[in-house]
Amino acid sequence: MDVHVDLEDANVVANPYHWFEEWRAVGRPVFHQGLGMHLAATYADANAVLRSKSLGRIWTDRHPDDVWSTFNWLHSDSILESEPPKHTRLRALVAKAFTRGQIERMRPVALRLTDELLDAAAGKQAAYGSFDLIADYAEPLPVAIIAELLGVPADQRDNLRSWSQHIVRMYDYRRTPEDEASAQLAADEFAQFMQQVVEERRAHPGDDLLSALAEVEAAGERLNERELVATAVLLLNAGHEASVNGFGNGFMQLFRHPDALAQLTADPYGLAGTAIEEMLRYDSPLQLFERTAKEDLEIGGVRIAKGAKIAALLGAANRDPQVFEDADRFDITRDPNNHIAFGAGIHFCLGAPLARLELSITVPRLLERLPRLHLVQEPEQRQTFVLRGFHRVLVAG
């Protein structure tokens, strides 16, 4: 089946799940004419796309190289855009430094920052009648946590979110020349900034992830300079997108399902675990993940030729009724909940434990402090399909 739906159309961005239902019903990957690739909408097919060793993340440099040079190597030298054996080497090195202990030591920092943000939000609400759930709460915390984890000085963090937003805008399909120019500049400035921080950490190692990454060794290998910078930039980019958008999308569903919001508010810590997983499943922050065939293969009965692309539709897979009972129902007590919002296979999100730690603190603490939380006006959704989220969500509580 061929489909012609414009994934960046405002109606699709607002609610893509009607189309996902149609594509799942086909029972095999559909071919998207505009993107020139197959889309795997069922859980089984999307999971196969993520796990198949015959598919890879094959990075292709953008041209001309003189303006895209930094953007190119920030991706080609990252874990996300590499395949074995390079991916195996990079992931082993990063995983050795990015341990559960490194993540868990961020808990007291996250608790302190959460309360500081909520104090500031309460002050803004007192002055203006509302605050922005995204800009005043969801965004600052994960950026600060990743920066703290990496050892980026607090007085040098102002541009991190802006740089990240300009770079990740390139992951969607409808971009303007201005978007591209902003991404080029952001990549140059971000890389230059991180190179300076890396040099400082090499000269004066500390108890931080960047120092550990600079020193870590596995099988006689270390990260080279570009790999170290690319890893730091990837952690800052990917490390907060899932938290920010997972939080924002999830709370929008809570607002749209007042019974669920009341249930979670009544027991925020007891229900936080299952509620967070349902927030990630029901309206996934990452909707699509591309891979390229390294050889001829078959996914869901469809032949994918060597060099052709196929994408896992994570949002569609996470609403598959073959896997999730009453899949279109938002159920904050759902258990088990085997969603693939963080991917699967060798590209399973390395930062998933950190995102879950952050959400396990920010979600219940917000409702504990503001038990009457509610929307004060219609939210502003990001007009992007791949990275799904909200720009602005004004609330009071």
Residue 164 contacts residue 182 (beta carbons within 8 Å): no
Residue 120 has pLDDT above 70, yes or no: yes
Q: Tens digits of per-residue pLDDT, 29-79?
A: 999 999 999 999 999 999 999 999 999 999 999 999 999 999 999 999 999
The dihedrals phi and psi of 302, each to the nearest 5 degrees, come to: -110, 130
Q: What is the pLDDT of residue 145?
A: 92
Residue 186 has pLDDT above 80, yes or no: yes
Distances (CA, A) of 265 to 123, 125, 275, 347: 22, 20, 11, 34
In angstroms, the CA 230 to CA 191 distance is 8
Any idea which residues carry the catalytic annotation?
A: 238, 241, 243, 349, 358
Q: What is the pLDDT of residue 394?
A: 98
Quick one: average pLDDT of 73-94? 93
Q: Looking at 22-36, 127-141, 155-169, which range is the least confident one?
A: 155-169
Tokens coding 168: 């990740």
Q: What is the pLDDT of residue 156?
A: 85
Quick one: average pLDDT of 78-97? 91
The pTM of the full predicted model, rounded to 2 decimals, is: 0.94
- How would you class 328 by CB atoms within 10 Å of its CB: exposed for 0-12, middle for 13-18, buried for 19 or more? exposed
* Torsion sign, CA atoms 75, 77, 80, 85: positive
Single out the residue of 247, 241, 237 nearest to residue 150, CA to CA: 237
Q: What is the pLDDT of residue 142?
A: 92
Q: What is the pLDDT of residue 219?
A: 67
Q: How many domains are contained in the chain?
A: 1
Domain membership of residue 373 as a residue range: 2-396
3-class secondary structure, 387:
strand
Q: What is the pLDDT of residue 236?
A: 85
Single out the residue of 243, 283, 287 nearest to residue 260, CA to CA: 283
In angstroms, the CA 231 to CA 239 distance is 11
DSSP 29: P
In angstroms, the CA 397 to CA 395 distance is 7
CATH number at residue 322: 1.10.630.10
**Mean pLDDT, the chain, as a whole number?**
94
Run of H or E including 100? helix 100-104
Which residue bears the tokens 């196929």? 310
* pLDDT band per the 50, 70, 90 thresholds, residue 121: very high
Q: What is the pLDDT of residue 272?
A: 98
In angstroms, the CA 327 to CA 330 distance is 8
For the residues of 309-376, what is the DSSP string, one character each? EEEEEHHHHTT-TTTSTTTTS--TT--S----TT--GGGS-TTHHHHHHHHHHHHHHHHHH-TT-EES
In angstroms, the CA 275 to CA 363 distance is 9
Q: What are the beta bridge partners of residue 30?
A: 39
In angstroms, the CA 59 to CA 45 distance is 23
In angstroms, the CA 51 to CA 346 distance is 7
CA 282 to chain centre: 15
Q: Tens digits of per-residue pLDDT, 299-355?
A: 999 999 999 999 999 999 999 999 999 999 999 999 999 999 999 999 999 889 999
